[in-house]
Structure 1
Amino acid sequence: MTSLTVRPAPETTGRPEPARPPRQTRLRALDGLRLIAALMVAAYHYGGRGGDVTQAWGGSPKEQFPTLHTYFAYGPLGVHIFFVISGFVICMSGWGRPLRSFFASRASRLLPAYWVAVILVTAVFALPMVAYKAVSPSDALVNMTLLQYPLGVDRVLGVCWTLWVEIRFYALFALCVVLPGVNRRRVILFCAVWTLAAAMAQSAQEPLLDVVLMPEYAPFFIGGIGLYLVHRDRRDAYAWAIVAVSFLVGQHYAVQSLWNATDPNAFAHRTSFGIVLVVAFGFVAVGAIALGWLNWADWRWLTVAGALTYPFYLVHEHLGWVVIHALHRDLGLASAATFALTVASMLLLAWLLHRFVEKPLTPRLRAVLAKAR
């Protein structure tokens, strides 16, 4: 969802200037990690849960994947990994940028593929041969604003709730850090204040504070920001402290929301150890990239993988169910083949969206927004 080009900028912090990452270095390993996170979410939507996907398979995914479904059930943690990556990349892309440029970059990155995905899924679900119910025309129009989740409107894309989380993070970072000017001290203060305020909001149990401060997801964004500070200077003790506290708090929220061992009706029983392990993987993987340990993973195809991640993430869930139904129930393909072909078809659709929607429209929208008064 974000640009991965390092943009070092001068800062006035009163401390010796740390070693800076090389100018215009592409962090291709981060692209690859984003695709891994997206595939984790897709595995969950196709084989790690009950609900609407059972209609596509003609029965519970437990029957299709007797062993793998227990691992697919950990797929929601791919979203948490996304949030760590987002914290890293948003801090990186916002460094040295004025507010208008930051806003233009974020809006032009999110909106073109999103608008087309909403139209596409709405149109497919309106077909008479598709079993899933389309949202009303009015609700579909509201979905174009990205405000359907807080407004309580039926969602066209099941994953759009994560975009609402991302947008609130962008707003907080823009107002508190980008608007006054990004520097190390301001970023550290932002992380510290947000961490403390989110904990207070959790204690207060005030809905408005929860909406603004997002206690459940804040540690992952803050941890990613801390890892970007590590990327700029691996000797920065404050940055390491931010990462450590964020992991400790973040794993708590992840276990609290996903641990279901005591639920007799759970689709699959996740263990608290497994949840902590996946969260740790996300922090360690981004940390390894921040420290340059994965600079050897500099293959060009990873850039393509990173470009496909966002459109794939948008379309894979609902359209994937349609493909599963067609391949498995209509054509009688085996479960494994259906799963693999569904993922491949969604990646192909993601490439088409990237090639014919994002590539031509993103730079044009960015230019328009950057010049607008």
Structure 2
Amino acid sequence: MLDGMRLVAALTVVVYHYTAMGDAWAGRARTIFPTLHKVSQYGWIGVEFFFLISGFVICMSSWGRSVGDFVVSRAARLYPAYWAAVLISAAVISIWPAVQHIDNWAQVALNLTMLQHGMKIPDVDLVYWTLFTELKFYLLFALLVVARGVSYRNCVVFCCLWTVAGIADYTAPSALLDMWSMPVYSPYFVAGIAFYLMYRFKPTAVLTGIVLVSFLLAEHQIVKRVGFNLIEENRPIPVWPAQLIVALAFGFMALLALGAFDRIQWRWLTTAGALTYPLYLLHNAIGWTVIRNLRHKVPALPLVVGTVLAMMVLAYLLHRLVERPLGPRLRQWLRNGVEEIRSHSRPGGPPVGLPPGRPTRAEEGAVRPAGS
């Protein structure tokens, strides 16, 4: 069920970009989709739902893993599809710079690191900013929870400390604190972790308190997000629909944590989950380019539907041709690197049976014959 909701969240973001934002329609999206626009203008909240789900999934998948295993898992999951999407998107908007353009290919190369947002380098695709937010969450969780051992207690302490850090940013704001406390988005990750602890163990007063505090903080911060995402600055939109959507997202996760969907095992949900990430990576710049070039030749609604379907097909191809073959290879390559670090970090060097690594310069000097 979680995979299905991830796809729903991705599609709401896709529809938001295609029917609410005016980039592909020369600023005329509201007049082209007068009814749909009233709903789709809130589709960006799918990102918040992603973060809520991410807290749940990362806590679940990191249980019993070391830091090295956690890093390998995340890198092998994120980077193959991302590298391909960056290069495909860059090629498309370089050939057809209808909506976006590539300033230089050095920026494209830096985008391959997924760190460009932190260096204030333009994203090849505007949606990549969320990936940097995810990376910061992964790093914090790895250092503060996984490194100490993923346990009920450590997860609860992490949730409380991160919440306090976000609140501290209100009273003692600083760029560094804001970067890592992420008060606009951290309530979703924290609530996701608490929901997983409810699912794995049982609901308690402590976990319920964490979820309720996160919910109230999220409802407060969503007001700011509505302001960030105004399509037209001189046309404010009601805040209550956004708050209602956030409440529904928390309600869904609460039902999930209580086991309400445990019996739902539909096969298509696995495929839905596999399509979500590549669809999110590919849909924006490429979809805008397609719509911008065909908007005078194809009716608006069929063009949007066709573009969504085309992006889903492209996402499936990316999953089959890139993620599935390259993900395991990257995982094994990284595992070998992690094991090399571990073997040479043990007292006495690598264990018997493992090939010794290349000697360091100091070791070479220690065994070099005198006078050589």
Task: Please report the TM-score for the alignment, with normalisation by the length of structure 2.
Answer: 0.87
Describe the shift of the 1:270–1:260 C-alpha distance in structure 2 as closer, same or farther (beyond 3 A): farther
- 1:97 paired with 2:65, answer yes
CA contact (8 A) 1:198 1:218 kept: yes
Which residue identity does 1:294 align to in structure 2?
F
**Aligned-pair distance for 1:151?**
1.0
Which residue identity does 2:24 align to in structure 1?
V
CA distance in 2, matches of 1:184, 1:235: 12
Determine helix, strand or coil for the equivalent of 1:66.
coil
CA contact (8 A) 1:124 1:130 kept: no
CA contact (8 A) 2:56 2:189 kept: yes
**Aligned-pair distance for 1:201?**
1.7
Could you tell me which residue of structure 2 aligns to residue 19 of structure 1?
A: none
Q: Report the aligned-residue RMSD.
A: 1.8
1:2-43 per-residue CA deviation (whole Å, 9 max, x = no partner) reads xxxxxxxxxxxxxxxxxxxxxxxxxxx000000111011111
CA contact (8 A) 1:260 1:269 kept: no
CA contact (8 A) 1:70 1:269 kept: no
Could you tell me which residue of structure 2 aligns to residue 194 of structure 1?
A: 162
* 4+ residue segments displaced more than 6 Å: none
CA distance in 1, matches of 2:139, 2:36: 38
- 1:215 paired with 2:172, answer no
Which residue identity does 2:268 align to in structure 1?
W
Describe the shift of the 1:264–1:192 C-alpha distance in structure 2 as closer, same or farther (beyond 3 A): closer
Could you tell me which residue of structure 1 aligns to residue 24 of structure 2?
A: 53
Which residue identity does 1:210 align to in structure 2?
D
- 1:311 paired with 2:278, answer yes
CA distance in 1, matches of 2:260, 2:221: 28
- 1:290 paired with 2:261, answer no
State how 1:86-165 maps to structure 2 within 5 Å: 86-127=54-95, 130=98, 132-165=100-133
State how 1:205-244 maps to structure 2 within 5 Å: 205-244=173-212
CA distance in 1, matches of 2:277, 2:322: 12
Match of residue 246, structure 1, among 192, 205, 214: 214
Could you tell me which residue of structure 2 aligns to residue 177 of structure 1?
A: 145
- 1:351 paired with 2:323, answer no
Task: Please report the TM-score for the alignment, with normalisation by the length of structure 1.
Answer: 0.87
CA contact (8 A) 2:99 2:285 kept: no
Which residue identity does 2:25 align to in structure 1?
T
Describe the shift of the 1:298–1:204 C-alpha distance in structure 2 as closer, same or farther (beyond 3 A): same
Describe the shift of the 1:288–1:135 C-alpha distance in structure 2 as closer, same or farther (beyond 3 A): farther
Determine helix, strand or coil for the equivalent of 1:133.
coil
1:298-353 per-residue CA deviation (whole Å, 9 max, x = no partner) reads 21111101100000000100100122134332xx2221111111110000000000
Could you tell me which residue of structure 1 aligns to residue 363 of structure 2?
A: none
**Aligned-pair distance for 1:202?**
2.5
CA distance in 2, matches of 1:240, 1:120: 44
Which residue identity does 2:207 align to in structure 1?
A
CA contact (8 A) 2:25 2:291 kept: no
Determine helix, strand or coil for the equivalent of 2:126.
coil
Describe the shift of the 1:265–1:362 C-alpha distance in structure 2 as closer, same or farther (beyond 3 A): closer
Deviates more, 1:92-101 or 1:197-206: 197-206
Which residue identity does 1:197 align to in structure 2?
A
Could you tell me which residue of structure 1 aligns to residue 14 of structure 2?
A: 42
Could you tell me which residue of structure 2 aligns to residue 369 of structure 1?
A: 334
CA contact (8 A) 1:260 1:271 kept: no
Q: Mark the structure with the bigger radius of gyration.
A: 2
**Aligned-pair distance for 1:131?**
5.7
Describe the shift of the 1:371–1:47 C-alpha distance in structure 2 as closer, same or farther (beyond 3 A): same
1:52-72 per-residue CA deviation (whole Å, 9 max, x = no partner) reads 2233xxx51112201111211
Describe the shift of the 1:131–1:220 C-alpha distance in structure 2 as closer, same or farther (beyond 3 A): closer
Could you tell me which residue of structure 1 aligns to residue 287 of structure 2?
A: 320
1:205-261 per-residue CA deviation (whole Å, 9 max, x = no partner) reads 101100111111110100000100110123322111111111111111011221589
Determine helix, strand or coil for the equivalent of 1:241.
helix
Match of residue 303, structure 2, among 338, 346, 349: 338
CA contact (8 A) 1:135 1:156 kept: no
Aligned identity (percent) is: 43
CA contact (8 A) 1:149 1:155 kept: yes
Deviates more, 1:168-177 or 1:297-306: 297-306
Describe the shift of the 1:213–1:296 C-alpha distance in structure 2 as closer, same or farther (beyond 3 A): same
- Where do 5+ consecutive residues of structure 2 fail to align? 342-372
**Aligned-pair distance for 1:135?**
3.2
CA distance in 2, matches of 1:267, 1:108: 44
Which residue identity does 1:192 align to in structure 2?
C
Deviates more, 1:360-369 or 1:349-358: 360-369
Which residue identity does 1:169 align to in structure 2?
F
Could you tell me which residue of structure 1 aligns to residue 359 of structure 2?
A: none
CA contact (8 A) 1:122 1:135 kept: no
Which residue identity does 1:77 align to in structure 2?
I
CA distance in 1, matches of 2:90, 2:7: 25
Describe the shift of the 1:334–1:296 C-alpha distance in structure 2 as closer, same or farther (beyond 3 A): farther
